[in-house]
Amino acid sequence: MILVHSFEQGKLYRRSDLHDQFGGNRQRGISPSAKEAVIFIFSGESGGQYGYSDGWNEDNTVFTFTGEGQVGDQTFTMGNKALRDHISSSKDVFLFRASSNGLCKFDDQLTLLGYELKPALDRNGDSRTVISFMFEPLSKVIQSANEIVEDVRDQSLEELKQLALDDTSSENTSVQERKVKVRRRSEAVKAYARKRADGICEACEQPEPFNAKSGSALDVHHLYRLSDGGPDHPEHVAAVCPNCHARIHRGSDGVEYNQALINKILNKEQL
């Protein structure tokens, strides 16, 4: 199930190749993979979203995406459900922008900030409700995460766990509040894993190999994701030394090594 793979920003991919590798529906705008913990969004292929345009806001910090379903109220089923639940289900969301000739350009990995239900007209001119998802680009999350690292560093393991499990997708908060919550949770998850490790690599169980400028030499690895970064569940991350981290992502026994680590973390968390 674990696949070490990352897409390159701005690079063109053939959509059929993506589905050959990952499975998933070949036509829909939201395509959860049948094989891996990943959901693809193909934006701009369906030709008009009946009153709402998908895309980035002015400063490229929020991507708005209308859910699927062209007639009647949109509901949280299929792709819409997968997007709403992508954080709790530990699925990575990858945004591709439609190009021509079956090609699409990889844009960014996205993290859900929340959603709104909006009135709209369907293609028959009947009024209905659509789901408007708001996402934050992962590259921005990583860039700005440093701002709140100080916030979470001095918390206890239990406090960090609470922060890490914070529900950020409620409907009644502003986009700005959600962004702060998502970031705080993302940092809390990382700080939690490092505190749980307590200076010992959670994979090879050796002390961290050097003294880091920033407090910990251990990397935070996502056990069930294609790439590291973004918010996740405390039980889905491990703090590992750079050597073990490289082995998981690039070693010929990386998948097995990751699976052994998953078992260790499950044991730790069950104590």
Closer to Zn ion at the Cβ: 178 or 249?
A: 249
* Residue 254, both tokens: 């990386």
Alpha-carbon distance of 80 to 10, in angstroms, equals 25
Alpha-carbon distance of 22 to 31, in angstroms, equals 10
Residue 226 near Zn ion by CB under 5 A: no
Q: What is the DSSP letter of 207?
A: B
β-pair type (30-32, 92-98): unpaired
Residue 220 near Zn ion by CB under 5 A: no
Residue 194 near Zn ion by CB under 5 A: no
Residue 204 near Zn ion by CB under 5 A: yes
Alpha-carbon distance of 113 to 169, in angstroms, equals 6
Task: Mark 18-57 with x for binding to Zn ion (rule: CB under 5 A) and - for no binding.
Answer: ----------------------------------------
Number of residues that bind Zn ion (CB under 5 A): 7
Are the C-beta atoms of 237 and 222 separated by less than 8 Å? yes
Quick count: other Cβ atoms within 10 Å of Cβ 157?
A: 12
Closer to Zn ion at the Cβ: 181 or 225?
A: 225
Stretch that binds Zn ion, among 174-182, 187-195, 200-208, 261-269 (CB under 5 A): 200-208
Residues 237-266 within binding reach of Zn ion (CB under 5 A): 241, 244
Residue ranges that bind Zn ion, judged by CB under 5 A: 201, 203-204, 221, 228, 241, 244
